[in-house]
Amino acid sequence: MPGLIGKKIGMTSIYSVEGKATPCTLIEVGPCVVTQVKTEEKDGYKAVQLGFGDKKEKSTPNAMSGHFKKAKTTPKRKLVEFDGFEDAKLGDEIKVDIFEAGSYVHVIGTSKGKGFQGVVKRHGFGGVGQATHGQHNRLRAPGSIGAASYPARVFKGMRMAGQMGNVRVMQENLEVLKVLTDKNILVVKGSIPGAKGSFVIIEK
């Protein structure tokens, strides 16, 4: 699907004429530069590679520097491939105006990392037993995780404590409330994954 790369700015609210507040997220979208055009003959599939976010020249490997010079652009921090840009050429700029207010988009990002968490926070467990009658430090325990005799192992997928967050998340069917073309800003309804300043992918 066609789309663009953006950066999460943060959340705010938009008020309607009736005074109803709608929570929304501001995303800085593009302009994205076409850094590579992939074809069936050469690469086996059709796609357009877009770059977003300037990067320092000295921190860019020589091979990638040549890659960006072919597109006559500066080194980019984020590269993503998209379909649907049939007429795009190397070095073209694609801006936020490919989206329109009232349409719907999917937003892909990396959720905030929350470190190692227990089962109550990670999976919503209720805890074990009561607080009295000899219980000691068992309120947030996971309880039994399997029998000792058979199968004498823990099944895959057992909900246990562990790393929480810091995974790729797609938020689907978010309504586009406004498109600010002069500032390259997309306003979508609701929240999107990731921290402020993190890169996100917006797909039609």
Give the mean pLDDT of 11-26: 93
pTM of the model: 0.84
Per-residue pLDDT, averaged over 116-137, amounts to: 86
Residue the block writes with tokens 């010079």: 69
Q: Enter the tokens of residue 19.
A: 């005074």
pLDDT exceeding 70 applies to what percent of the chain?
Answer: 100
Q: Where is average pLDDT lowest: 24-28, 144-148, 176-180?
A: 144-148
Please name which of 49, 108, 96, 53 lies closest in space to residue 78, comparing C-alpha atoms. Answer: 53
CB 11 within 8 A of CB 36: no
Q: Which CATH superfamily is domain 3-115+168-203 in?
A: Translation factors (2.40.30.10)
Cβ atoms 29, 53 nearer than 8 A: no
3-state secondary structure 136-192: CCCCCCCCCCCCCCCCCCCCCCCCCCEEECCCEEEEEEEEEEEEECCCCEEEEECCC
User: Domain residue spans in the chain?
Assistant: 3-115+168-203, 116-128+141-164
**With contact defined as beta carbons under 8 Å apart, do 13 and 43 qualify?**
no
- Which tokens go with 73? 């652009």
Task: List, for residues 35-70, the tens digit of each pLDDT value.
Answer: 999 988 998 999 999 999 888 888 888 888 888 888
Q: Are strands 47-54 and 32-38 parallel, antiparallel or unpaired?
A: antiparallel
Query: Contact 5/198 with Cβ under 8 angstroms?
Result: no
The average confidence (pLDDT) of the chain is 91
**In this predicted structure, what is the pLDDT of residue 62?**
86
Residue with the two structure tokens 């967050």: 165
Q: Which two tokens stand for residue 64?
A: 């990638």
Eight-state DSSP code of residue 60: S
Q: How far apart are CA 186 and CA 204, in angstroms?
A: 13
